[in-house]
Structures are given as structure tokens and as C-alpha cells.
Amino acid sequence: MTPKIIVISGPTASGKTALGVALCQKLGGEVVSADSMQIYRRMDIGTAKPTPEEMQGIPHHMIDVADPEENYSVARYVEEAASCVEDILNRGKLPVLVGGTGLYIDSLLSGRTFAGGPVDPALREELNERYDEIGGRGLLGELRKVDPERAAKLHEADKKRIVRALEVYILTGKTITQHDLETQAIPPRYDAAKLALDFEVRQDLYDRIDRRVDRMFEQGLMDEVRSLLASGVPASCTAMQAIGYKEAVGAVSGACSETEAAEKIKMESRRYAKRQLTWLRRDPAIEWHRFEKTPDLNEALRHSTEFLRTLGIE
């Protein structure tokens, strides 16, 4: 039988953490975070990482598992999160996946594997040099000869993906297109009961996002960013390009004021929330709970438990 797990998703600042903890308390569960930024140590304020008080004694996994300098991948998340889920299941507990990073959630649930094979730094360097030598159009043409489907999806300026597609073919003898088709045929790893949070009126969500950003600055976001930079974390690394950190780095460097940085973070966070909702709406299996004006945790918990009961989870 495919193991059952719960998923709680939704846009940023929609109340996922509180509902996840409440369901864990009610159903004997543990949280597995599905947030692509909360994986990083020492990045607490700008990621809205749950505090010990907010966790209320419920174990939270996949938080603080990487250093900001690391190049953390979806493949690594799936491997490590799946290990957490299996451990929770083996102990007779219920895994509750909580977060807003749709790609992490979908990849974990599907049991998706990622095109790979042994890494060959020399081959990658050679392909990068060939891209520089003959240009994106030339190397994309070489990819088109072995994997026309993937080549049709790539732009000649997308050096990283062109090189990766050729690398995978050379190392494994399979195209990324073939790998993806094989992956899609794999049955889902988990039987997921999917819940998502939103607001009846979009402006109420946006107002909540704005208030969260204001609290981040009150809690010391600028000091957190200064400390990260002082410890040697490069401003150019992937983690520091995240919403909240990139803008704060700009304020630290003098490129903008703190006030301008805060307004930029609010705007980018609202845009991110919109993208999250677009991603989630593709999935007809999701049970939505929409708040009126402000989150009502008791009502969300009642709705969620009733839905889960229909799926045999209680």
C-alpha cells in the first residue's frame, strides 16, 4: 500500500506553519518542511523560519540542513526529505509536508528521480569551453542531433541546461527527454492528501505579506544580512539571491535605502505569492481553505480534519 502523507501548501504568509503544527498535534504527526530557503542555516528572519514557540514541541525536519554557500539542488532535497518521511512512517507517525516550494513538493510526492550519472568535471569543463568556442547556437545544434525534443525547449543562451543535457547523454547514453518519460511512468511515491491555504480577497493576503516584511525589519533582517556577509557568505551565492536577502544586500551596499529595500521586498513577495497560487491551481486534487480577512486557525483545522477523514486519515 502506498504510504499516506499530508501536504499543506499555499502562498507565502498564508498560515501554513500554524495549521501544520495543529494537525500534527491532533493526528500524531511531524512536520517535513518544503521551503527552499528554510533549508539554510543562519538565515532565519528573512525566511520566516518557524521559532521554537511556533513549533510547539512538534519535530520539524528539513530546516537548517545546509550552509548558505552550498549549491542546494531539488535532487538533494528529494533524497533527504524522503529519508525523513520514511523515518517518520517507520516510527508510526504521520508525515505532514508543509511549505510553499511547489517544485520540491511535486518532486518528492512523485518519486521523481533526476537525470544524472557520475559527475565528470572534466567533461563539463570541456562542454562549457565548447559552448564558448562555437556559441550557444552551435552547441544547441549538437544537442538537437541527439535530443531534438529537449533542444526545442531551450534557448541558445541557456548555457547551463544545454551543457547539462549533453553531459547526461554522454555519461548515461540516455537523453534527458527519455529520462523524463521513464520518470513519469513511475507510480507516485506517496498517497498525498493535499491542502492549500489562501484568502477570499487577494488584498488581504497582500496586506499580510506587507506586515510580515515590516516585522522582519523590526526583528533585525538587516543585522542578519550583515552578519552573513561578514562571515564570508558571498552576496552572489544562490541563497543570498532570494527575496528579502537580495534587496537587503542592496541596502547594506548603499545601492538603496532600507525603506526602498523593504518596499521592494513587499513587491517581490506579492509577485511570488501570485506565482505560487498559479502553480497550485494546476492540481485538481488540492482541497482549498480560504480565509476571510484574517486567518481562523480553528476553522481551518475543522475543515482540514473533515477533509482528511474522508480520505481515511484521522
Residue 119 pLDDT greater than 70, yes or no = no
Q: Is 233 exposed, middle or buried (0-12, 13-18, 19+ CB in 10 A)?
A: buried
Local confidence band at 115 (pLDDT 50, 70, 90 cut-offs): low
Region 256-280: mean pLDDT is 97
Q: What does the alpha-carbon distance between residue 142 and residue 154 come to, in Å, rounded to a whole number?
A: 13
Region 10-23: mean pLDDT is 97
- List domains and CATH numbers for the chain: 4-113+187-310 (3.40.50.300), 121-184 (1.10.20.140)
Region 290-310: mean pLDDT is 96
| Average pLDDT score, the chain | 93
| pLDDT, tens only, 45-56 | 999 999 999 999
Region 71-100: mean pLDDT is 95
pLDDT: is 202 or 122 the higher one?
Answer: 202
pLDDT of residue 112: 65
Query: pTM to 2 decimals?
Result: 0.82
pLDDT of residue 173: 86
Residue 166 pLDDT greater than 70, yes or no = yes
pLDDT of residue 38: 98
pLDDT: is 21 or 126 the higher one?
Answer: 21
| pLDDT, tens only, 215-247 | 999 999 999 999 999 999 999 999 999 999 999
Instruction: Return the beta strands (E) in the chain as ranges.
Output: 4-9, 29-33, 60-61, 94-98, 191-199, 287-291
DSSP state of 190: S
Local confidence band at 41 (pLDDT 50, 70, 90 cut-offs): very high
Residue 117 pLDDT greater than 60, yes or no = no
